[in-house]
Chain A
Amino acid sequence: MTTVLQFVVDALTAGSFYALFALGIALIFGIMQLVNFAHGELIMVGAYTIFLTQAWPWQATLLMAVVAVAVMALLMERAAFRPIRGANPATLLITSFAVSFLLQNVAQMIFTTLPKSADVVPLFRSSVTVGGLTVGWLSVVTILATAVLLVALALFMTRTRAGVQMRAAAEDFEMARLCGVRSNRVIASAFAIGGLLAGVGAILLVGQTGGISLGIGLTPVLFGFTAAAIGGLGSLPGAVVGGYVLGVATALLQQLLPYELAGYRDAFLFAGVFALMALRPGGLFRVAALSPRV
């Protein structure tokens, strides 16, 4: 019984992580057909913000991290992606590589390649035991924080004018503009929300390992992108489902793989993803017709 519960907690924790990153990527892709590889650098900005502000009260540190990432996301949109809006997907992708590379280099100049550490919320390292099951507080926080964010995002998308406009623009950008939806505003909002998700992700990542390095965003973005692709790139519910599917798969492999193979867990995981994408290239969810973004 405890093994099953442990499995559920592990799967939900991993799934929440992946869903957070997948959502940020899917949101931007849905609205401007951009696969933003620089999403990883947003996570990096969040992590180094935590490093710089770790002497502050922890609430202030966490708030600052989220704000800094959201501001960086907005800057990224304004400086790099707005000028090439509507360009073909290859141009957009290459630009996102360039942005990623630039931010990596700037961070390296400031912080060097030496890993840093931060221990912001000591609670994250402790755990709670309930009926024989030991769960880290970080898992609890990750699962709950993600659930709250998902519900908040769903409410925003369905109950607010800005959210409905964002969904309209993601489905048919040109028609949305003809109806008066302001493209600058809707795209900037998407980046701000993507930044907020990346900021929370950064907090949870740093909480998990206590370590901060230039490459901290690399693996999360890989997993986030994969989860988004599983869900049918661009579909927000799809990204969430994709994240949790990936989480369950990771936890399953963790439990089932024999000891000698455990180190190759991610290789098995991605083999499974390749198989899935070969069977269903569009992902689990179909996305509405893609339209050019202007």
Chain B
Amino acid sequence: MLRVEGLDVQYGRIRAVRDVSLEVSQGEIVGLLGPNGAGKTSTLGAVSGRLPVAGGRVLLEGEQLDGRPAEEIVRRGVSLVPEGRHVFATLTVAENLAIGATVRKDRAQVAEDIERQLERFSVLRRYYRSNAGKLSGGEQQQLVIARALLSRPRLLLLDEPSLGLSPLLVDLVFETIEQLRAEGLTILLVEQNASRTVEVADRCYVLRGGELVAHAPRGDLSPEELGDIYLGAGER
């Protein structure tokens, strides 16, 4: 479904991602691991159109994504849940969800989908008419996942969805990811929580210093082994 070939991402003259190639197939959950500053967020930025692609290609089912603006890429079925949540704090929960459905024309279906997300994340129903800025971190994380799903993506990009959450909410996030897989969604998951990610993902890539250093199909690497790569890189 998603094919990234030789991707380079730059901030001015700083190169954040160098020659990264990866693939995500239909229905898969693929993990993207690595220490802070490895280039994970930058990679998702390039795929989602948030950041320009300095080199290489990004293809979604053969169709070129790189060079297109973010607002077009989400129309082609790629939805990003960004690092740091980014709810629209001055908008209500209802309005945040409505913004998530901007790309859709099937209004009746949207109403049904909103209802489905409110079933999934019941806390959002409770605060439906409140400003999203009033929600706690965990509630905001649920809101941004629901918002991203309302575009009916083919591919969901999740950037550290469990970061800064209490253990209970981390469980909820990973349960949600399992649920979404069962519903047939394809997911590229960036996480600091390596062991949980290895559990849930079909395959994992490991980034370090902007380069791909490992690719592990599930079962190939134990969580401990992967944790070693990950921590080892972190100590550098």
Contacts and interface: CB of A to CB of B under 8 A. Distances in A.
Given A167-B90, A179-B100, A174 B95 contact: no
Contact of A171 (B48, B69, B90): B90
Interface string B64-76: 0000011100110
B82 interface: yes
Contacts of A165: 99, 102
Interface string B37-71: 00000000000111000000000000000000111
A183 B71 CA distance: 8
Nearest to A288: B90
Given A167-B91, A168-B91, A179 B99 contact: yes
Contacts of B90: 167, 171, 288
Given A177-B71, A183-B71, A168 B80 contact: no
B89 interface: yes
Contacts of A182: 71
Nearest to B132: A171
B3 interface: no
B98 interface: yes
A175 interface: yes
A178 B88 contact: no
Given A168-B88, A288-B90, A178 B80 contact: yes
User: Size class of A's contact patch?
Assistant: 10 to 19
B74 A178 contact: yes
B197 interface: no
Nearest to A181: B102
Interface in A188-222: none
B103 interface: yes
B153 to A, nearest CB: 11
Contact of A180 (B50, B74, B91): B74
Interface residues of B, number: 24
A160 to B, nearest CB: 11
Interface in A144-183: 161, 164-165, 167-168, 171-172, 174-183
B69 A177 contact: yes
Contact of B99 (A174, A176, A183, A288): A176
Contacts, number: 62
Interface in B80-134: 80, 82, 86, 88-91, 95, 98-100, 102-103
Nearest to A175: B86
B103 A164 contact: no
Contacts of A180: 71, 74-75, 102-103, 151
A182 B91 CA distance: 18
Contacts of B80: 178
Contacts of B102: 161, 165, 179-181
Nearest to A184: B71
Interface in A272-290: 288
Contacts of B50: 174, 178
A179 B147 CA distance: 8
B88 A172 contact: yes
Nearest to A167: B91
Contacts of B99: 164-165, 168, 176, 179, 181
A181 B71 contact: yes
Most central of A161, A176, A179 by chain B CB within 10 Å? A179
Nearest to B96: A168
A180 B101 CA distance: 8
Nearest to A289: B89
A175 B71 contact: no
A188 to B, nearest CB: 14
Contacts of A181: 71, 99, 102
Interface of A: 161, 164-165, 167-168, 171-172, 174-183, 288
Those 7 A-B pairs whose CB atoms lie nearest each other, nearest first: A180-B103, A180-B102, A177-B70, A180-B74, A175-B86, A177-B71, A168-B88
28 contacts: A161-B102, A164-B91, A164-B98, A164-B99, A165-B99, A167-B88, A167-B91, A171-B90, A172-B86, A172-B88, A175-B86, A176-B88, A176-B99, A177-B69, A177-B70, A177-B71, A178-B71, A178-B74, A179-B102, A179-B103, A179-B147, A179-B151, A180-B102, A180-B103, A180-B151, A183-B69, A183-B71, A288-B89
Interface of B: 48-50, 69-71, 74-75, 79-80, 82, 86, 88-91, 95, 98-100, 102-103, 147, 151
Given A164-B91, A177-B69, 11 more contacts: A161-B102, A164-B98, A165-B99, A171-B89, A174-B70, A176-B88, A177-B71, A178-B71, A179-B99, A180-B71, A180-B103
